[in-house]
Amino acid sequence: MSHVGPAYGSLAANQAKIAAKRDPNLDRGVQEWVEAIIGEKFPSGPYEDALKDGVILCKLMNKLQPGAIPKFATSGGSFKLRENISLFQNAARAYGLSDAELFQTIDLFEKHNIPQVTQCIFALGRTAQKKKFNGPTLGPKMSDANVRDFTEEQLRAGQSTLGLLNEGMTKGTQSKSENISSISKHQSQVEKPQIREKNGNRSTYTEAIRASSELSDSSIVCDDRQRSHSRQRRSQQRTLSSSSVENLLTNLHNIQLPPLVSSSSLSSLHSHMNEQQEEHEISLQLLVDLARDTNSTRINKLNRLYSFLEDSIGMVELRSLLNFIKSSSSEININEPPLNLYSSILPIIIALILLENDI
């Protein structure tokens, strides 16, 4: 029996499909428009690398709508620069872009879907035209409304024309009715000799109906069996998914930090601690910003928290941690695995749970 590969394909295949949709001319058009708006040239290098840190995007939003992003990072670690992208997304949403027109943080920062980034900036250009932005335009010029004003004489002339049309349609309907009536009389005369023949074939037709009914009953039985097999397969898949989550939680419990055995290990640990400290500071800053933000809705704040955590540890790992915290029957110690491994972002996770519970 030949082996059949997974239907979802590989990550490389998906990335190849996305790359095939990319149009260098669209990228070039976006770059020229952004450079004209902000008054700066892109740094030398690929188009996506110039946009990656979000600095140019934040400058663009502030040009389109002054004060849209009062403060953003121009240097620092990856977490600070990722926050620039989140600031741009929130400002673009407030400017009028829909969620379908925006891109995810990983689409740009990890170059997962650069065509979507380009389409987002094109949508921003269209919205700027609608808002009558006084500056360069991106894409085709939006059409203006063509309002027509008619005089009273023109309106009366139009009404008289409609009256003539209605009169002609009424006469046409009457002639059609007469034709249909004559045709019906003719058909009734032709069909009378055929009634006897139809009565003779009625028994044959009844037998065919009975055979068709038996076939339908057998088809229903087959469909029921197929549905039963399908339910069994879905049940097995759910059992497999549950066991996978339990195995991941078990592995998280067993993770331990490597022992310090040399000066190189000590240097590596210091670097790791510095990264955790930076991530902890960014987490607290995000919580402070959300606490002071009185304009965003609860859903928008949840999306910002989810985006930050997804960029930090990934959605699968995040879901496992949330399940562990919510479903654990025993007391949880934040100084023990697995929570001690996520101490820098633990405040964000707790804030996410509180917001989901609407506390």
256-289: string of b/e by CB count within 10 Å (b at 16+)? Answer: eeeeeeeeeeeeeeeeeeeeeebbbebbeebeee
In terms of C-beta density within 10 A (0-12 exposed, 13-18 middle, 19 or more buried), how is residue 93 classed? middle
Q: Is the Cβ–Cβ distance between 135 and 37 less than 8 Å?
A: yes
Mark residue 230 as left, alpha or beta (left: phi above 0; alpha: psi -120 to 50; beta: remaining): alpha
Distance CA 76, CA 8 (A): 37
* pLDDT value of residue 337: 78
Secondary structure (3-state) at 153 = helix
Q: How confident is the model at residue 184 (pLDDT cuts 50, 70, 90)?
A: low
Residue ranges covered by each domain of the chain: 10-131, 277-356
Q: In Å, how far from its chain's centre is CA 98?
A: 10
Q: Which CATH class is domain 10-131?
A: mainly alpha
Q: Is the pTM of this model over 0.75?
A: no
Q: What are the residues whose beta carbons fall under 8 Å from the beta carbon of 158, sequence distance 6 or more?
A: 150
**Quick check: 68 pLDDT over 90?**
yes
Write the pLDDT tens digit of every residue in 234-282: 555 545 455 666 666 666 666 555 554 455 556 665 666 676 677 778 8
In this structure, the dihedral spanned by the alpha carbons of residues 258, 263, 269 and 271, taken in order and rounded to 10 degrees, is -150
Distance CA 96, CA 358 (A): 27
* pLDDT value of residue 32: 94
**Quick check: 194 pLDDT over 50?**
yes
